[in-house]
């Protein structure tokens, strides 16, 4: 089992990673962040992406969908933003946020690696 700091370091080892955060979507607060740049304030991204997760959860409830969100992908001109909702013990209400440089990232591999990191994470 890996703690938050270890998991975020592993996330930054994903090819093309710009920044990552572990986010509580009930509060919108980042429990941990790593990486950043002038273009990416991870605390602002955590709060903003919380709204995205909440909106999708509400929409699924209104539609009566009895399924779970695995991840949410936002594609920008130069970046991918992945939101992976966590399902493990003690991680309810949390998601991993990963921003990737689109020119250097392999999206399929990044999703696979996030899934592995999620399975090892214990909060």
Instruction: Note the pLDDT tens digit of each residue in 8-18.
Output: 999 999 999 99
| DSSP 8-state secondary structure symbol assigned to residue 40 | B
Question: What is the pLDDT confidence band of residue 89, given thresholds at 50, 70 and 90?
Answer: low
> pLDDT of 53-79, one tens digit each?
999 999 999 999 999 999 999 999 999
> What phi and psi, each to the nearest 5 degrees, are found at residue 108?
-60, -45
DSSP secondary structure of 59-118: HHHHHT------EEEEE-SSEEEEEEE--STT-TTEEEEEEEETTT--HHHHHHHHHHHH
SS3 label, residue 48: helix
All domains of the chain in start order, with CATH: 4-120 (3.30.450.30)
């Amino acid at each position: 089992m890996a703690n938050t700091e270890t998991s975020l370091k592993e996330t930054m080892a994903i090819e093309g990673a710009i920044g990552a955060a572990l986010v509580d979507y009930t509060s919108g607060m980042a429990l941990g962040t790593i990486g950043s740049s002038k273009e990416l304030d991870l605390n602002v991204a955590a709060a903003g992406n919380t709204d995205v997760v909440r909106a999708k959860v509400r929409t699924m409830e209104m539609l009566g969908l009895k399924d779970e969100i695995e991840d949410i992908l936002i594609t920008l001109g130069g970046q991918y933003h992945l939101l992976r909702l966590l399902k493990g013990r003690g991680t309810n209400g949390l998601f991993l946020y990963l921003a990737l440089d689109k020119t250097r990232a392999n999206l399929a591999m990044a999703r696979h690696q996030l899934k592995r990191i999620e399975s090892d994470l214990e909060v």
